[in-house]
C-alpha cells in the first residue's frame, strides 16, 4: 500500500541510492542518523530512510527547511511484511 505526500521515488537516472533503516527508532534518532549518513555523502547522492515512527514525516519536512545540505525529494508510506506502516523518506545531499 502506498500513499503520503510525493508518492513514488524521484530517483535520479542511473544513480545508486543509499539506504538507512531506522525502523523502531523514535525521534530524534532517525534525523540524527540521517544527518550523520548525509554528512559522509557527496553532493547529488541520495539517501532513502526507512522509519516506523509516524512523527518522522513532519520531522524530516521541518529538518530540511533548516538544513542547507539536504533536500527532501519525496516521502511515501508502505507496509512491511508484518503490516506495519513504514515511512520512506528520500533525501538528496546538496552542496
What per-residue confidence (pLDDT) applies to 52? 97
pTM of the entire predicted model? 0.84
Q: Is 29 part of a structural domain of the chain? A: yes
Active site residues: 27
Which 3 state secondary structure label does DSSP give 58? helix
Residue 2 C-alpha cell reads as: 502506498
Q: What is the pLDDT of residues 29-75, one digit of tens each?
A: 999 999 999 999 999 999 999 999 999 999 999 999 999 999 999 99
Domain hosting 23: range is 17-93
What per-residue confidence (pLDDT) applies to 95? 86
Q: Is 7 part of a structural domain of the chain? A: no
Q: Does the pLDDT of residue 6 top 50, yes or no? A: no
Q: Is 40 part of a structural domain of the chain? A: yes
Handedness of CA 88, 18, 32, 21 (dihedral sign): positive
Q: Name the nearest CA neighbour of 60 among 75, 47, 46.
A: 75
Amino acid at each position: 500500500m502506498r500513499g503520503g505526500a510525493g508518492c513514488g521515488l524521484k530517483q535520479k537516472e542511473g544513480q545508486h541510492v543509499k539506504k538507512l533503516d531506522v525502523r523502531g527508532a523514535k525521534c530524534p534518532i532517525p534525523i540524527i542518523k540521517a544527518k550523520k549518513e548525509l554528512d559522509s555523502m557527496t553532493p547529488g547522492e541520495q539517501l532513502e530512510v526507512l522509519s516506523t515512527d509516524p512523527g518522522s514525516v513532519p520531522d524530516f519536512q521541518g529538518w530540511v527547511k533548516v538544513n542547507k545540505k539536504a533536500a527532501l525529494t519525496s516521502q511515501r508510506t508502505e507496509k512491511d511484511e508484518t503490516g506495519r506502516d513504514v515511512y520512506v523518506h528520500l533525501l538528496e545531499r546538496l552542496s
